Copies of this chain bind each other. A is one copy, B any other.
Amino acid sequence: MALAAGRIRHTVVFTPRHAEGSPEEADFLAAAAQLAAIPGVEAFELLRETSPKNTYRYGISMEFVGAAEYAAYNEHPDHVRFVQERWLVEVADFLEIDYEAR
């Protein structure tokens, strides 16, 4: 489904520091999946990254109705806590990519 005008698709590709398939990685991914519960988050997906042309292992994709909802997500205590306590500690490499309709 094409991205409607004004909507924002926020994505991030990443590789956990944990060994692939390890219980520690599974625990981190389970914590990341909880981001879907933060208000404003729509179309949440936690996916495998499978291109041989980069080294990222997973991706998260979510959509927001607009910039205000995206900002509220970024500032939400559950997001801030996840970034501080899990993401910055357990992610080795990542890249954020956001899309909007042309």
Contacts and interface: CB of A to CB of B under 8 A. Distances in A.
Copies of this chain assembled into the complex? 2
A102 B3 contact: no
B48 A101 contact: yes
Interface residues of A, number: 30
Given A46-B102, A102-B46, A54 B3 contact: no
Contacts of A68: none
A53 to B, nearest CB: 5
A51 interface: yes
A3 B47 contact: yes
Interface of A: 1-3, 8-10, 13, 29, 43, 45-51, 53-54, 56, 58-59, 61, 95-102
